[in-house]
Amino acid sequence: MKLLITTIAAVLLVGCGESQESTVAPEPKPDEPIAEVPAQQSPPPVESKPEPPTTQLAKDISLHGAGRNIEAVKQAITDGANVNSINFEHRTPLDNAIRQNYPEVANLLRKHGGKTGEEVSIHAAAKKGNIEAIKQHIANGADVNAEDHLGKTPLDRATGKTADLLRKHGGKTKKELEAAGN
Q: Hey, what domains does the chain have and what are their CATH numbers?
A: 56-117 (1.25.40.20), 121-179 (1.25.40.20)
Identity at 80, one-letter amino acid code: G
For the stretch 143-179, pLDDT in tens is 999 998 889 999 999 999 999 999 999 999 999 999 9
The confidence score (pLDDT) of residue 171 equals: 96
pLDDT at 123: 94
Closest to 138 in 3D by CA, of 156, 150, 151, 126: 126
Q: What is the pLDDT of residue 165?
A: 96
Give the per-residue pLDDT at 20. Answer: 46
Return the pLDDT at 21: 47
The list of the chain residues with pLDDT below 70 reads 1-54
Residue 50's pLDDT is: 53
Q: Which of 54, 107, 137 is nearest to 93 (CA)?
A: 107
Phi-psi region of 81 (alpha: psi -120 to 50; beta: other; left: phi over 0): beta
Q: Are 84 and 92 in contact (CB under 8 A)?
A: yes
Whether 154 and 123 have beta carbons less than 8 Å apart is answered as yes
pLDDT score recorded for residue 9: 47
Q: Are 100 and 109 in contact (CB under 8 A)?
A: no
User: Are residues 144 and 166 in contact, defined by beta-carbon separation less than 8 angstroms?
Assistant: yes
**Taking each helix axis from N to C terminus, what angle separates 70-78 and 56-64, rounded to the nearest 10 degrees?**
160
